[in-house]
């Protein structure tokens, strides 16, 4: 995958299975956001293909500037009602709004009057109301205050679909992701463990590579990157494609159940 005259990725092959909760990590400019857009079909890879395995897969994508897309002329409640499934009860909408700290008469405020943090919270609330079973989030914690981040963390922990997230908030990632894809030097490595597991393996690898560079010894007993990254069920495949299993809940009724649970 190229961006301008720069190659971001080379030979990336991986599969996202139903129920996966994946954090994508890497340095700034490594292509994390580009990879998310490829997953969502918003950008096409130069080679290979992106394949969605089941027609029932519904993707909800949260961009970094999602709050800027809100209609400033609507109220908070109107914003939610316009994106909610027609059959979703009013009480469920209010429950989700309450979970994100929009309670009582506050839901009648115009979006234009909200602070940056409140707009970010509303944008997150709105995306979680969509009937999606694959949730793709690009820096969802940006501009969100501490209370909002706690709401986001709880909502994502209770979300029972498939999750792919990019975030600089290491605590959030450690709480909601169960596996990690690391982008390094244009290549992807899969770590079949949570963010702490990734950090431990990544640090161990760097220490061994540093020792090798200092001593000049080439036979240090260490697991190669591929073995470390592909431990577990080895879900990086040889096919040049990206497959989405029928990830998580695939109907609006279950999304309404999610909203109801958030009110409990």
Residue 201, domain extent: 2-214
- Cβ–Cβ contacts within 10 Å for residue 74, how many? 16
pLDDT at position 11 is: 73
Between 60 and 261, the higher pLDDT residue: 60
Model confidence at 226: pLDDT above 60: no
Q: Return mean pLDDT, the chain.
A: 80
Residue 32 domain-assigned? yes
Judge whether 254 lies within some domain.
Answer: no
- pLDDT recorded at residue 4: 54
List the single range of 13-17, 165-169, 250-254 with lowest mean pLDDT.
Answer: 250-254
SS3 label, residue 182: strand
For residue 242, pLDDT over 50 is answered with: no
Stretch 203-220: mean pLDDT? 73
**pLDDT (mean) for 146-153:** 89
CB 108 within 8 A of CB 77: yes
Is 250 contained in some domain?
A: no
In this prediction, residues 144-155 reach a mean pLDDT of: 89
151, 155, 157, 159 alpha-carbon torsion, rounded to 10° = -170
User: What confidence tier does 2 reach under pLDDT thresholds 50, 70, 90?
Assistant: low
The set of residues, in sequence order, having a beta carbon less than 8 Å from that of 223 and lying 6+ positions away, is none
Residue 57: inside a domain:
yes
End-to-end CA distance of the chain: 44
| Structure confidence at residue 249 (pLDDT) | 37
CATH number for the domain that contains residue 10: 3.40.50.300
259 inside domain: no
Q: Give the predicted TM-score (pTM) of the model.
A: 0.77
- Cα–Cα distance, 156 to 252 (Å, whole number): 17
- Tell me, yes or no, whether 60 lies in a domain: yes
Position 243 in a domain:
no
Question: How many domains does the chain fold into?
Answer: 1
- Binned at pLDDT 50, 70 and 90, residue 148 comes out as confident
The per-residue pLDDT for 264 is 47
Model confidence over 42-98: pLDDT tens digits? 988 777 677 776 678 899 999 988 999 999 999 999 999 999 998 999 999 999 999
pLDDT digits (tens, 9 = 90+) for 154-173: 999 999 999 999 999 999 99
Residue 191: band (very low, low, confident or very high) from pLDDT cuts 50, 70, 90: very high
């Amino acid at each position: 995958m190229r961006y301008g005259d720069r190659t971001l990725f080379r030979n990336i092959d991986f599969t996202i299975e139903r129920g996966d909760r994946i954090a994508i990590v890497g340095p700034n400019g490594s292509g994390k956001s580009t990879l998310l857009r490829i997953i969502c079909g918003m950008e096409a890879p130069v080679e290979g293909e992106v394949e969605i395995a089941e027609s029932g897969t519904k993707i909800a994508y949260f961009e970094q500037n999602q709050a800027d897309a809100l209609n400033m002329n609507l109220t908070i409640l109107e914003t939610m009602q316009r994106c909610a499934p027609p059959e979703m009860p009013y009480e469920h909408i209010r429950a989700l709004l309450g979970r994100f700290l929009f309670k009582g008469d506050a839901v009648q405020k115009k979006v234009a009057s909200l602070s940056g943090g409140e707009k970010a919270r509303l944008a997150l609330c709105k995306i979680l109301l969509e009937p999606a079973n694959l949730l793709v989030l690009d820096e969802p914690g940006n501009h969100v205050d501490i209370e909002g981040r706690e709401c986001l963390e709880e909502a994502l922990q209770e979300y029972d679909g498939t999750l792919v997230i990019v975030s600089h908030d290491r605590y959030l990632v450690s709480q909601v992701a169960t596996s990690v894809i690391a982008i390094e030097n244009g290549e992807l490595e899969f770590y079949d463990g949570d963010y702490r597991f990734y950090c431990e393996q990544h640090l161990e690898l760097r220490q061994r590579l540093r020792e090798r560079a200092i001593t000049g010894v080439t036979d240090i007993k260490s697991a190669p990157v591929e073995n470390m990254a592909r431990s577990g069920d080895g879900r990086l495949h040889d096919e040049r494609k990206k497959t989405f299993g029928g990830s998580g809940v695939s109907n609006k009724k279950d999304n309404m159940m999610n909203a109801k649970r958030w009110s409990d």
